Amino acid sequence: GEEVAQTPKHLVRGEGQKAKLYCAPIKGHSYVFWYQQVLKNEFKFLISFQNENVFDETGMPKERFSAKCLPNSPCSLEIQATKLEDSAVYFCASSLLGNTEAFFGQGTRLTVV
């Protein structure tokens, strides 16, 4: 597609429940990035992929967070046993090559109650 598509737009989970977010990058883009935006300001990098391979996972919390980009499937970000502090907007971005600009999706607003 011509834009980064993220689903769902909103997700509400009770503490301890699992949350799974999806991202379809722009067709032909090789790189996918996940960012977490808390309090409408800070963007925190989580993880990036080059095709289906993890490229940089230095921002991923060691526990509870995992992500995948499998061939012919949307990329996914999964949070096991959500906590209140996981409430945020999660943005996915994709770029054609490693040194080109990233295009962002609309985000998924996760609310943990």
Partner 1 sequence: AQSVSQHNHHVILSEAASLELGCNYSYGGTVNLFWYVQYPGQHLQLLLKYFSGDPLVKGIKGFEAEFIKSKFSFNLRKPSVQWSDTAEYFCAASTGTASKLTFGTGTRLQVTL
Residues that bind partner 1 (CB under 8 A): 31, 33, 35, 40-43, 45, 48, 50, 55-56, 58-59, 91, 93, 95, 97-99, 101-107
Looking at the Cβ atoms of 79 and 91, the one nearer to partner 1 is: 91
Instruction: Outline where DSSP puts E strands in the chain.
Output: 5-7, 10-13, 19-24, 31-38, 42-50, 53-56, 65-68, 75-79, 88-95, 103-104, 108-112
Minimum distance, C-beta of residue 81 to partner 1, in the bound complex (Å): 26
CB of 59 to partner 1, least distance (A): 7
Choose between 22 and 103: whose C-beta lies nearer to partner 1: 103
Closest approach of partner 1 to the CB of residue 86, in Å: 19
Nearer of residues 79 and 107 to partner 1, judged by Cβ: 107
Question: What contacts 110, CB < 8 A, 6 or more positions away?
Answer: 11, 12, 13, 19, 21, 79, 82, 86, 87, 88, 89, 90
